[in-house]
Structure 1
Amino acid sequence: MAEKRAADFERSPSKRPKLADTNGDASAVAAPAPDQQEQAVGIFAFVSPETPGFQCTVKQRYTDFLVNEIIPSGEVLHLVKATPLPGAKQKVKNGVQDAKPTNSENVESAAVPAVQLPEASQSQPAQPEQNGQSSNQDANGDLPKPEPEPTQEASIPELSTVDKQTMHDIFGEETTEKIVALYAAVLKRPSRKPRDHNTVRSEIISDKSKRTEAHGAVRRIFDSKLQTETVQNTPGVIMAKAAPTMGPGGGRTRLHGTDSNGAGTKGKMGWKELGGEYLHFTLYKENKDTMEVLHFMATQLKVPAKTFQFAGTKDRRGVTVQKVAIFRMYANRIAALNRMAKGWVASGFEYKEHGLELGQLLGNEFLLTLRDCRFNGEDGLDSQKRLELAKEAVAVTASSFKAKGFLNYYGLQRFGTFSTGTHMVGMKMLQGDLEGAVNSILTYSTDSLPEHQPPDSRVPVDDTNRADAICRWRESGEAGHDFASRMPKRFQAESAMIHYLSKKHRVTGKPIQEKDWQGALMQIQHGLRLMYVHAYQSLVWNVAASKRWEMFGDQITEGDLIIVGEKNDDADVAPKEEVDEDGEPIVRPAEEDSAPSAESKFTRAHHLTKAEAESGKYDIFDVVLPQPGYDIAYPVGPLGKLYEDFMGSEEGGKMDPHNMRRTWKDISLSGAYRKMMGRPLGGLVECEVREYISEDEQMVETDKERIERERVKKEGEEESVNGSAKVEGGEDGEKKLAVVMKFQLASSQYATMALRELTKGGAGAYKPDFSAVR
């Protein structure tokens, strides 16, 4: 049985380099070059091949890759400094806990900004409530006696000149004074319920952009202690009021006679008084997977990891900031975990009425450091001329990038990190080969096994342990304690399937579901399970995008698809194909990397006529290409035939693009649309060429370092050398060039694909950790 499994899961796809199969085990081959990896998943073309690129190294240090989400309001999300909260019993300095860590593992978390914790949580994390008992009840189950409402000396804060002018421009002087007075009242009585404070109504603000600016300005200027909302029955009027008050550790102050954790708050109305049933917070992480951090949080909070919601996952190797939401969770419980955090911080707590969905973000801002940059024609130049050449080349490249954009390919991250790409797993699932799909997920390379690791091996420890755990399971058929201790926790899909397939009858001891392949796949978290079939869709999309560019370039042609309603006067244009039961030609959008939710709005697509294509109204940035499915329209003409030819080939899985329904609902694809081209949001591309010597020199400042620098500056302490300080390498060191680049991309666009266009494929990962082919 083991030999058959191994032979099956080692079957290589057509037109892929095959492995030598030894003893039924997975074998390793040299990782293909980046261009081979890209071509294997349909990535071929460049938008402006005439523009010279350059060679560089990406992510040599994880601080070389900074990513901050852009929330739907257009605000770039940053880690915020915590402010002292009323009732906190520990000494604080500017919102940073002045508490010494109990061991070396807590040094990092103790030094970062965190919300204040109750005294009881200093020595241990908050525990889940049981039988309605609050976490800060004493041994007898009694609540602590309520403390008198703290009152502070009232004084009207002085706004900076810039902030004052901003408020005057939006609200006028009179309303601004009222808002400032409200802020002073909140500072005076910080634990008072929001409804006990006055509210301030603005005059009618007719400009929508001004109203949007107003919400962000009030939140920023008044440190989130005030909140704004649009008055429903008076269009254009904004109401400012006190934000929900926070108790020790980020929890609520007393509600209906309960403790500061709000443990007595019951039912939907109680959560509504807090602000909503969903707790939103900002997650800052360094060199960590999103799910790795959320899984740790879930374990400590005793809740399923799927309880957490987020708009999109972020790269592991980097410093990222994103919004996370969780249903009916008190802020102080999340805040308490900061004391146990290693490489991450949770802050910026806020209760809202709604959670988060995948794709619910405007995009991401990237601040990248590209190291060891080399340019054509630099040989023989002295340091100064080489620097001038680099600046000129980067300026030309950035200008072309802003004007012409890049092909909006799905990047290599979409296709997995191990020898069998996720698109191959999805293909097997769609073909009905569920056993092959399971075995593809559980493939590994013998070169990753511990006994095959040289002393200087660069294979990640987690990958080695994963391979070891799967290998031992295949040999023994057991998934007991030994397996659990070997398999890293972040490989939840593999672990869940192996435990399911290993289940045995209690009496006979014989396996009872070792061939239930669909059951095994069902053990994978729903979103991750869908990732495999979506990766197949991405493969087809990439191939179509390359072929479309090869055939027509940026020329608009008859039969191209555009989204109805994006141009001011095309809202009444309706596609002539793919109608629903009511005769409406509708499809789901693909503005994110996930299946649309049931609540998503439908998007209509329209085939351009010859006259429309020649009208000049549309450009290449309007064109969309479909991911295959049963509820989308395909392009007409040669490109439409490409979908049929490629998907019907061996490489495309021998599938019919017009028959994508499956009996298993999870893999029955409705299809989606994706813009063919991408370009920087707002045309923002900032580039700076720098010289450096030491590889340890950090070129940019992280959010965490910024907060620490501001604290040091405010307190007048002697500033120490941190990660962003320049490290001198000596006069004899060889000077190298780095390009620090900042740009913003829309949701689901890949920075790696943008860099590919910028460098013309010259951007190489410092430590490759994925392979799309064998």
Structure 2
Amino acid sequence: MLHSLSYVTDHPGFCGTIKNSPCDFVVTEIEVSEPLLRDTRVESLQKTGEAPLEQNGPKKPRTESCGPGAEGCCGGAASPLERDPGHAGGDSSASPDKNQPGREPELKCGLEEGGILDALLGKPVSEQLHKFARDLKDEWDLGNNANACAREFSLGPVLDKKNRADLHSTIRQEFPFLVTVTTDNEMTVKGNADYRELCQLVTEKETSDFFKFLDAKLENSTFSFEPDGDKEHRKIVHHFINRRFGKLLETKSFTVTDVSDQPNTSIMVRFREKRWPRKRSAGGFQEKQDLYTAFTLQKENLETLEAISFLAAELGVLPSDFSYTGIKDKKAITYQPMVVKKVTPERLKEIGSKMEKKGMRIHNIHSACQHLRLGQLKGNHFDIVVRDLTLHSHDSSADLKERISEAMENVETKGFVNYYGPQRFGQGQNVQTDQIGLALLNEKMVKAVKLFFTPEDTDDPVNNAKRYFLQTEDAKGALVMLPEFKVREKMLLRALHRYGVNHEGCTKGWLNIPHSMRIFYVHAYCSKIWNEAASYRLKIYGSKVVEGDLVFSEENDENVSLSDKVHVVTAPEESANKYSINQVVLPMVGHSIKYPSNKVGQWYHERLSKDELQMCKFRVSPLQLNIPGCYRLILKNVQNLSYFLEGSEKGTAIEDNHLNESKISLHISFDLDSSCYATVCLREIMKCDF
């Protein structure tokens, strides 16, 4: 699937084999707002006395940076639910510090906010910002609202995107009465008119706490204003919040007991869900909360969806009751967080020994309050061994060690083309997942079913059952032949047995498997088109940013739609070399994206026409599939790259420049952002297709 795709670097590379065994390819997911999983795993193993599956070769110690916005540092950042409930996003009505208005929230890594601002802005600008904030508040206190509204303070150009994000967050937390705006990399600070208006209705402490809660945006968190017996006043507060934040928040009045043990009424605010739960009790938002259990899944030589099928069958729940943030490699040892609904931690612990026989281990089991979402991760850490190193045949007189060093330096500096990896498409299978996705988009339901049941060239129960079904269309007979853990196949066959192997029956069959699995195939097709588009873009324009290219706007405003954040490069911007190739994005096809207005956009239309999708709305209503599309950077960078060479005797590093190629292994360690593929990064390093 990656054959003939482009490279961004020009070094010769080298040859080698990957995934000789699962322990040669170890993937550890980096969580959002939680300690890194490798820390969690070690803690879990120490408690249980278990040992991780054996890994080959010595590992270099890794250290995590502890800077502004760093996660998992200084013992690990607390999860949102473990933080002080009075801190932004917590239920302030439950805070033990309600009567201590002078107390400031606890900060990451023990740093004071002022220290973070000093680090990000430099002390002189940080001091000017503090003075601006004090002067603005003085104007407000004196009633000079007009003067206050006219005040602005420029922080100057902040080129690094992460620094801008850290500044936005830090300033809003320390000065909730300020707002930050970015225009062409320049950050400006001014007074928050909404903050000022709410201050006229409630105390300043409540206003400050409310805006910190709003900025934190922690799912399932609530905020409560002080008890208020004045119904008309509560109505005004309700109206203000609904008018200014109604798309994001919803409010409810409920009865509380005040400090005099008298019944009173308070306003509770929470983030709006897609829809209200059907049942609500008088005393709260939801009569019964779902039961969630979180855990870390360690799997070996298993697909993520296959592992979920095993777990679901053993626990007596549906595969759709499991949530996760991404699909992990099959031919690897992988660690990833998961959450399962309707299963207690005790029940999950009971099946641990059975799952080990399937190549899985379950660590760090604990209660949770919500599911996970696809893409809800920072990225992945990889520990990879490349064996049987040799030079390319056209480069046989070169020095292998120099070639490896050159390749590592090149990719670390220039990055790699951000292709979707071969595992996205079902590497090595007779029918790849993108073919099924195309059939679903064309609403060719019977064809999609037959592609799904196309067997591999092996003689085993699963492929024998698939072979039998295609030959006979006997869904009931194929059901009997399939092993229990093949949950997807069984769900589909049950519907086909009931409704028949025709268009209607196959449609109902696809509806019988979880939505996440149905849309997986469509996303595979969209990924294939993106890969081809990236190669075409690099082939005709190279690394130059040209008129009609798409780049992401730097505006850090979450209320702006995704397409509005995408900017079309103009002719003057091309002439001025305003943007770099690292900022260029290409669309993943869907119904809500814009295409480049140059030759690449024309290529998309021609390519979709070739697959009979020129009129496709990317909504497959019969299957309840909605594909809005998104944007993906053409190039990506690798982080925390380190490597060493090892000889045939375990643990022996290679120092000399004359290597015995057949006995050399390369150990590589690096981090990649979410949705990036290690096999694609290795392809760029080695100049090999896998």
Where on the TM-score scale, by shorter chain, does this alignment land: which range? 0.5 to 0.7
Aligned to 1:403: 413
Structure 2 SS opposite 1:502? helix
Tell me which of 633, 636, 651 is aligned to 1:675.
633
Tell me which of 485, 489, 497 is aligned to 1:494.
489
Q: Is the 8 A contact 1:372 1:737 kept in 2?
A: yes
Distance 2:282 2:414 in 1: 50
Confirm whether residue 524 of structure 1 aligns to residue 513 of structure 2: yes
Cα drift, residue 345 of structure 1: 2.3
Cα drift, residue 431 of structure 1: 2.2
Confirm whether residue 305 of structure 1 aligns to residue 315 of structure 2: no
Aligned to 2:613: 655
Aligned to 1:51: 11
Within 5 Å, which residues of 2 pair with 1:588-599? none
Distance 2:327 2:282 in 1: 30
Aligned to 2:467: 471
With over 3 angstroms needed to count, the CA separation of the structure-2 counterparts of 1:375 and 1:537, relative to structure 1, is same
Aligned to 1:282: 296
Structure 2 SS opposite 1:606? strand
With over 3 angstroms needed to count, the CA separation of the structure-2 counterparts of 1:638 and 1:375, relative to structure 1, is same
Within 5 Å, which residues of 2 pair with 1:90-109? 95-96=47-48
Aligned to 1:346: 362
Aligned to 2:589: 628
Letter in 2 for 1:613: E
Q: Which moved more, 1:743-752 or 1:293-302?
A: 293-302
Q: Is the 8 A contact 1:745 1:751 kept in 2?
A: yes
Q: Is the 8 A contact 1:279 1:350 kept in 2?
A: yes
Distance 1:268 1:62 in 2: 53
Tell me which of 428, 436, 439 is aligned to 1:428.
439
Within 5 Å, which residues of 2 pair with 1:353-372? 353-372=369-388
With over 3 angstroms needed to count, the CA separation of the structure-2 counterparts of 1:351 and 1:51, relative to structure 1, is same
Q: Is the 8 A contact 1:686 1:743 kept in 2?
A: yes
Structure 2 SS opposite 1:95? helix
Say how many residue pairs are matched: 489
Cα drift, residue 51 of structure 1: 0.3
Cα drift, residue 640 of structure 1: 1.0
Cα drift, residue 642 of structure 1: 0.8
Letter in 2 for 1:549: L
Tell me which of 528, 543, 559 is aligned to 1:554.
543
Confirm whether residue 606 of structure 1 aligns to residue 567 of structure 2: yes
Aligned to 2:448: 437
Cα drift, residue 544 of structure 1: 0.9
Letter in 1 for 2:320: K
Q: Is the 8 A contact 1:503 1:513 kept in 2?
A: no
Distance 2:643 2:331 in 1: 22
Cα drift, residue 616 of structure 1: 4.1
TM-score (norm 1): 0.55
Structure 2 SS opposite 1:664? helix
Letter in 2 for 1:500: A
Cα drift, residue 205 of structure 1: 7.0
Cα drift, residue 734 of structure 1: 9.1
Distance 2:285 2:494 in 1: 38
Deviations 1:604-632 (A, max 9, x none): 32212123334444221211111222211
Aligned to 2:669: 742
TM-score (norm 2): 0.62
Distance 1:355 1:676 in 2: 31
Deviations 1:14-45 (A, max 9, x none): xxxxxxxxxxxxxxxxxxxxxxx434xxx511
Distance 1:527 1:607 in 2: 32
Aligned to 1:24: none
Q: Is the 8 A contact 1:415 1:423 kept in 2?
A: yes
Distance 2:105 2:576 in 1: 38
Aligned to 1:9: none
Distance 2:101 2:291 in 1: 26
With over 3 angstroms needed to count, the CA separation of the structure-2 counterparts of 1:627 and 1:112, relative to structure 1, is closer
Q: Is the 8 A contact 2:588 2:629 kept in 1?
A: yes
Distance 1:410 1:289 in 2: 17
Structure 1 SS opposite 2:513? coil
Cα drift, residue 686 of structure 1: 0.6
Aligned to 1:218: none
Distance 1:390 1:201 in 2: 65
Deviations 1:361-417 (A, max 9, x none): 011011100000112599999xxxx9xx33322221111101111111112211225
Cα drift, residue 435 of structure 1: 1.8
Cα drift, residue 62 of structure 1: 0.8
Q: Which moved more, 1:66-75 or 1:304-313?
A: 66-75
With over 3 angstroms needed to count, the CA separation of the structure-2 counterparts of 1:471 and 1:212, relative to structure 1, is farther
Cα drift, residue 560 of structure 1: 1.1
Tell me which of 371, 374, 378 is aligned to 2:390.
374
Letter in 2 for 1:466: V
Letter in 2 for 1:664: P
For the aligned residues, what is the CA RMSD? 4.5
Aligned to 2:528: 539
Aligned to 2:257: none
Distance 2:625 2:601 in 1: 23
Distance 1:556 1:346 in 2: 47
Aligned to 1:226: none
Q: Is the 8 A contact 2:290 2:341 kept in 1?
A: no
Structure 1 SS opposite 2:424? helix
Structure 2 SS opposite 1:341? helix
Aligned to 2:334: 320
**Where does structure 2 lack aligned partners over 5 or more consecutive residues?**
54-62, 79-93, 114-172, 175-204, 214-280, 654-659
With over 3 angstroms needed to count, the CA separation of the structure-2 counterparts of 1:466 and 1:301, relative to structure 1, is closer
Deviations 1:93-144 (A, max 9, x none): 96336xxxxxxxxxxxx7679xxxxxxxxxxxxxxxxxxxxxxxxxxxxxxx
With over 3 angstroms needed to count, the CA separation of the structure-2 counterparts of 1:82 and 1:466, relative to structure 1, is same
**Where does structure 1 lack aligned partners over 5 or more consecutive residues?**
1-36, 85-92, 98-109, 114-162, 171-175, 180-194, 214-228, 238-266, 451-463, 505-510, 573-583, 589-602, 700-724, 727-732, 765-774
Q: Is the 8 A contact 1:69 1:321 kept in 2?
A: yes
Structure 2 SS opposite 1:692? coil
Cα drift, residue 292 of structure 1: 3.2
Distance 1:53 1:479 in 2: 50
Tell me which of 469, 478, 482 is aligned to 1:483.
478
**Structure ranking higher on relative contact order (CA contacts 8 Å, 6+ apart):** 1
Distance 2:324 2:452 in 1: 25
Cα drift, residue 562 of structure 1: 1.6
Confirm whether residue 753 of structure 1 aligns to residue 683 of structure 2: no
Q: Is the 8 A contact 1:629 1:658 kept in 2?
A: no
Structure 1 SS opposite 2:665? strand
With over 3 angstroms needed to count, the CA separation of the structure-2 counterparts of 1:740 and 1:437, relative to structure 1, is same
Q: Is the 8 A contact 2:548 2:597 kept in 1?
A: yes
Q: Is the 8 A contact 1:311 1:357 kept in 2?
A: yes
Within 5 Å, which residues of 2 pair with 1:42-441? 44-48=5-9, 50-73=10-33, 75-78=35-38, 80=40, 95-96=47-48, 204=104, 277-342=291-356, 343-376=359-392, 389-417=399-427, 418-441=429-452
- Give the number of the structure whose residues are more often helix, by fraction: 2
Cα drift, residue 198 of structure 1: 11
Distance 2:518 2:435 in 1: 13
Cα drift, residue 310 of structure 1: 0.7
Cα drift, residue 664 of structure 1: 3.3
Structure 1 SS opposite 2:2? helix
With over 3 angstroms needed to count, the CA separation of the structure-2 counterparts of 1:610 and 1:478, relative to structure 1, is same
Cα drift, residue 477 of structure 1: 4.1
Q: Is the 8 A contact 2:293 2:340 kept in 1?
A: yes
Distance 2:426 2:595 in 1: 27
